[in-house]
Amino acid sequence: MSESTQRLGAGRYIDAAQAPDATVTSVHELATADGAKVSGVLRTVPGAHTVVALTHPRQDMTHHVLVPELLARGYAVWTQGTRSVNNDIALVHEQALLDVAAGQVFLRERGFDHVVTLGHSGGGTLFAFYHQQAGFPSGERLTHTPAGRPIDLAGTEMPRPNAAIFMAPHPGQGALLLRLIDPSVVDESDPLSTDSDLNPFDPANGFAEPPHSSSYSPEFITRYRQAQHDRIARLDTIARQRIDEASDARRRYTSTADPADRRAALAPRVLTVYRTDADLRFVDLSLNPNERPYGSLFGRRPDLTNYGLVGFGRFATPDAWLSTWSGLSSNADFLRCAPTVTAPTLFVELTGDQACFPDDAKTMCDALGSTDKTHVRVAGTHFGGPIRDGAPTGASLAAGDIGAWLAVRFP
């Protein structure tokens, strides 16, 4: 992929600016506090004293469209992966905090005067979670994951960033899935099982054939959202049962040294979660309206992509499900973490976003604890594409606002 092109998922691309000729690029491998290895790319330009860090819990940020834009404005840029880049089956957000911490320590050791986090999409909640835990005294940090696994955040060096930028952040992967998951699934082992009374793609419930906007009644929406909550709760129960089974096998092996028990403790019980592309707002554009196009992040036909392989949270270990994808169990929730984000904060809302809707953006921005916070809206789609053919990209418009905001605070 060239430096001038940014892949957006679902086959979409937008053009990015060229990095300055004076850019110096270096690749670094870092050791985390628990002994894992993560890598990142540091790009610097002459005179850069402030570095902007981009990280996402499960995507590679190396060629993020904002990288050259920030470099051109005189800022160094650090793009880092977690231990779960491009494979989130075992993504545990508490471990991802250890990965982020390693990067923050590295940037301080490099001598930058200021470190600014920039969280785009799922990176927003990851960084909000990091700001929360880094801001706590070590004795108040989390000690266990939602699955009950020990996590040593207390013993981890977690430097506090000097500022935070959130671009099109969704409310957390679990909170997002709580609105995406199809509650009409009645059998978790059958991808086609359907409760017709909850089927979002049944005309009897208000669905209209695309590209026409659907129209769901308030009564159906209320039932649908409660059923989404109930399905997540059922999946949480399955995940905890599988964790308990593995724990029981480990205890038996400790007592008996039976190889069968050891194998039972190690055997992965990955959850397969069917139909996770069914937010009603994808097809009913009257719900929390903005300038978004019809469809989801994965395509213009959610009535079809909902049944396909691609989607959020489709495969996960029980630990990863509870930590990352459960809107009921995950600690990585933007609204929960936002009050502890007290550094100067910029919140960039995209007017055609299909993951961070207007009500979400207002609620999340209002929840931020900073007394120096700015909320801007720019025309664009979730990944930073143009709102319509021929229009400037959302990423280029966002870069202008981000650059102006940084220039005031970190000239």
- Do residues 145 and 54 share a domain? yes
Write out the H or E segment, with its range, that includes residue 121: none
Question: Do strands 163-167 and 345-352 pair parallel, antiparallel, or not at all (unpaired)?
Answer: parallel
Q: Which long-range contacts (CB under 8 A, 24 or more apart) does 407-410 make?
A: 407/73, 409/163, 409/344, 410/49, 410/50, 410/75, 410/113, 410/114, 410/116, 410/162, 410/163
Of 268, 303, 321, the last residue of a domain is 321
Are 223 and 129 found together in one domain? no
220 shares its domain with 342: no
Q: Is residue 398 part of a domain?
A: yes
pLDDT at position 12 is 44
Backbone angles phi, psi at 144, to 5 degrees: -145, 150
Q: Mean pLDDT over residues 268-283, rounded?
A: 95
The reply to whether 16 and 156 lie within a common domain is: yes
Q: What is the pLDDT of residue 4?
A: 40
Q: What is the mean pLDDT of residues 273-290?
A: 98
Are residue 162 and residue 78 in the same domain, yes or no? yes
**Any domain includes 326:** no
pLDDT at site 264: 74
Strands 345-352 and 373-381: parallel
Which CATH number does the domain housing residue 125 bear? 3.40.50.1820
Which one of 279, 299, 321 terminates a domain? 321
Separation of alpha carbons 227 and 223, rounded Å = 6
Identify the domain containing residue 349 by its residue range. Answer: 5-172+331-409
pLDDT of amino acid 248:
81
Residues 218 and 287: their CA atoms lie apart, in Å, by: 10
Say if residue 148 is in the same domain as residue 187.
Answer: no
The pLDDT tens digits of the residues spanning 246-259 come to: 888 777 777 777 78
Tell me which amino acid residue 108 is. Answer: R
Quote the number of domains for the chain. Answer: 2
pLDDT in tens, 138-189: 999 999 999 999 999 999 999 999 999 999 999 999 999 999 999 999 999 9
The pLDDT, as a whole number, for residue 15 is 57
Same domain, 222 and 295: yes
> What's the pLDDT band for 3 if we cut at 50, 70, 90?
very low
Query: For 296-307, how does the pLDDT look when each residue is reduced to its tens digit (9 = 90+)?
Result: 999 999 999 999
Angstrom distance (rounded) from CA 268 to CA 246: 9
**What does the pLDDT read at residue 54?**
98
User: Are 161 and 190 members of one domain?
Assistant: no
Position 254 scores a pLDDT of 75
Same domain, 154 and 187: no
Does residue 192 share a domain with residue 62? Answer: no
Judge if pTM exceeds 0.75. Answer: yes
Q: Tell whether the model's pLDDT for residue 291 goes beyond 90.
A: yes
Of 275, 303, 321, at which residue does a domain stop?
Answer: 321
CA distance 365 to 29: 34
Query: Does residue 93 fall inside a structural domain?
Result: yes
Over residues 278-285, the mean pLDDT reads 98
Same domain, 152 and 209: no
Query: Across residues 258-271, what is the average pLDDT?
Result: 79
- Let me know whether 337 and 315 are in one domain: no
The per-residue pLDDT of the chain, averaged, comes to 93
Please indicate, yes or no, if residue 269 is contained in any of the structural domains.
yes
